[in-house]
């Protein structure tokens, strides 16, 4: 048997060689998560012994590098289960969510090229759970929005920014008592690129030339960092082996692309996905990456991150940043923007109970861009799943009475989650098989906590009737979740209905179609491009997702809807009388 010391030494050497974060805390976490000596092995004892030492370096920025992919604690459940499929680490998930929140649809979609202030996304984490998703708006920076929304509740939280926050935000965040601040090591919130020469512009500022305001802000943030209690750092991890390919393949086969393929059998989904992915990658790279190594080194140096500028750390940093942007582009490409969107399903069943006859609470409008952005948030969460077979993500937003000056406007996060085994579980303690396993005792379904269940369990705020709550989930809610969704007071659901009306034995999707009190917005072809007559179906076709009669009925109803439904925005509440 290979001794632990023989295994640790070369593996730890590889970790240190490729790591940006060489802090003791990250090494302890790496040893604890790497599974040295097996589940009951000595790795945890070594980590516990190291953690007991008084030596630590709280101000050192960087990342930890796990020896292998482990189920090392999620945002909603902290199952420690080394599963068969790669998945996102917590740090990379929070970082990707912050980058995606920076891209939250705004009324003014493009940044002002003449402003030095860059839009920023922010994820607030408490005890490993996402409790806030924010972004910059017309008046407020993301950090300022977090102060107003969370206040003193930020104490002990970890904050993940898509850019290093400016000194004005940083001083308030430090004062609130956060425990950790992580930021994406690109152009900071107060840009170090000259106005008009930002990364998305064709012109470039010469290396070493930054504005006076940016230089003063850099000095102030460095002083705040060196004199603060929170751990201010850059937390990036290399992707688990095979994760990039796994994200690419599962995004190509997402329920949303599958629905498009079912509706249009001749559609070249490979070409569609590749085109979407390439388009997103170009746009995200222009915004989130620094094009030239010289300019990147100069920005890192001004931010006090000189240790990242030496090789091989610098090349590793740029490589890891590029990989995360590629993952983000692939996840976004799994929900294409061509001729499809989330459209309200109309009901024709005359027999309804009094409770179900009243229309759902009414919101003003949510654009297709906004709905798509929220479903991609859920798709990102799904790659943190603890389920060994299928990842599902869910996000719940509430529409508050008054619009804030941050980028999400009326929307405020209620909760989010993904499917996983109960908190504290080990992978080998529960069955992992699906319906293909004939022995029902070896199936997973009685043990997995669903994404919707985690999102409802770990709510950050109560669901109120006057604040209509909207659930975005990557797969059709099952019969186990439908009563919870209805009982919680969810007003609207955005999802794909690919599994609707299916009964798989231990899990079924029969109740979703009967929901009447909740507004259902399902992924389908936009009414403006629905053909005049439905395409012919093969006689007796009962394929996996055919449901020809049901889809034909839906298309006819949608074509009878008011022309206002053909606009880029949609009603989140009941359809008005004129459009019935």
Q: Which residues are catalytic?
A: 452
Pairing of strands 490-495, 121-126: unpaired
Q: Which residues contact 338 (CB under 8 A, 6 or more apart)?
A: 272, 276
Going from the C-alpha of 495 to that of each of 303, 438, 522, 524, the distances in angstroms are 42, 30, 5, 10
* Strand stretches in 97-179, DSSP E: 121-126, 129-135, 158-161
CA separation for the pair 288, 291 (Å, rounded): 9
Residues 446/174, Cβ–Cβ less than 8 Å: no
Question: Which regions of 198-294 does DSSP assign to beta strands (E)?
Answer: 231-233
Distance, in Å, from the CA atom of 241 to the CA atom of 250, rounded to the nearest integer, reads 15
* Helical (H) or strand (E) element with 439: none
Treating both helix axes as pointing N-terminal to C-terminal, what angle do 368-382 and 90-102 enclose, rounded to 10 degrees?
170
Residue spans of alpha helices (H) in 159-199: 167-175
DSSP labels for 346-383? PP------HHHHSPPPP--EEEHHHHHHHHHHHHHHHT
**Whole-angstrom Cα distance, residue 522 to residue 347?**
13
User: Roughly what angle, to the nearest 10 degrees, separates helices 4-18 and 24-33?
Assistant: 130
> Reading across the β-sheet that carries 121-126, which strands appear in turn?
129-135, 121-126, 158-161, 180-183, 231-233
- Contact between residue 493 and residue 396 where contact means Cβ atoms under 8 Å apart: no
């Amino acid at each position: 048997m290979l001794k632990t010391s023989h295994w640790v030494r070369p593996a730890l050497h590889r970790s240190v060689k490729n790591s940006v974060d060489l802090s003791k805390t990250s090494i302890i976490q790496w040893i604890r998560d790497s599974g040295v000596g097996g589940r009951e092995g000595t790795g945890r004892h070594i980590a516990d012994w190291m953690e007991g030492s008084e030596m630590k370096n709280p101000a050192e920025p960087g990342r930890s590098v796990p020896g292998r992919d482990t189920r090392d604690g999620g945002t909603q459940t902290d199952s420690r289960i080394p599963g068969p499929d790669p998945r996102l680490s917590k740090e990379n998930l929070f970082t990707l969510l912050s980058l995606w929140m920076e891209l939250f649809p705004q009324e003014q979609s493009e940044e002002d090229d003449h402003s030095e202030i860059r839009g920023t996304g922010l994820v607030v984490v408490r005890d490993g759970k996402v409790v806030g998703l924010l972004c910059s708006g017309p008046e407020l920076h993301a950090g300022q929005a977090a102060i107003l929304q969370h206040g003193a509740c930020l104490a002990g939280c970890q904050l993940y920014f898509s850019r290093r926050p400016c000194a004005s935000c940083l001083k308030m965040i430090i004062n609130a008592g956060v425990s950790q601040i992580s930021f994406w090591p690109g152009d900071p919130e107060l840009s170090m690129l000259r106005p008009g020469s930002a990364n998305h512009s064709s012109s470039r500022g010469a290396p070493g030339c930054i504005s006076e305001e940016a230089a003063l802000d850099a000095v102030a943030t460095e002083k705040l960092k060196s004199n603060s209690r929170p751990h201010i750092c850059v937390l990036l991890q290399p992707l688990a082996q095979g994760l990039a390919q796994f994200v690419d393949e599962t995004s190509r086969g997402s329920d949303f692309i599958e629905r498009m393929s079912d509706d249009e059998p001749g559609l070249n989904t490979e070409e569609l996905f590749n085109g979407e992915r390439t388009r997103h990658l170009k746009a995200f790279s222009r915004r989130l990456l620094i094009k030239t190594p010289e300019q990147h080194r100069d920005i890192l140096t001004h931010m006090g991150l000189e240790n990242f500028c030496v090789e091989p750390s610098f090349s590793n940093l740029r490589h890891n940043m590029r990989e995360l942007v590629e993952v983000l582009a692939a996840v976004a490409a799994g929900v294409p923007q061509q001729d499809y969107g989330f459209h309200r399903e109309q009901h024709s069943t005359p027999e309804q109970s009094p409770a179900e006859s009243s229309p759902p609470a009414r919101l003003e409008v949510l654009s297709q861009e906004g709905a798509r952005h929220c479903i991609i948030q859920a798709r990102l969460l799904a790659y943190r799943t603890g389920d060994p077979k299928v990842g599902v993500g869910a996000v719940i937003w509430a529409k508050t009475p008054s619009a804030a000056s941050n980028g999400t406007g009326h929307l405020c996060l209620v909760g989010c989650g993904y499917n996983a085994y109960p908190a504290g579980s080990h992978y080998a303690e529960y069955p992992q098989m699906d319906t293909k396993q004939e022995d029902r005792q070896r199936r997973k379904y009685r043990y997995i906590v669903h994404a919707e269940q985690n999102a409802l369990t770990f709510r950050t705020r109560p669901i109120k009737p006057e604040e209509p709550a909207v659930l975005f989930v990557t797969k059709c809610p099952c019969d186990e979740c439908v009563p919870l969704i209805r009982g919680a007071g969810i007003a609207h659901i955005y999802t794909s209905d690919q599994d609707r009306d299916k009964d798989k034995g231990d899990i079924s999707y029969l109740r979703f179609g009967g929901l009447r009190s909740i507004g259902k917005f399902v992924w389908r072809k936009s009414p403006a491009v629905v053909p005049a007559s439905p395409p012919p179906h093969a006689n007796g076709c009962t394929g996996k997702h055919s449901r020809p009669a049901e889809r034909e009925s839906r298309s006819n109803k949608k074509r009878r809807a008011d022309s206002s439904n053909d606009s880029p925005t949609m009603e989140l509440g009941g359809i008005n009388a004129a459009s019935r």
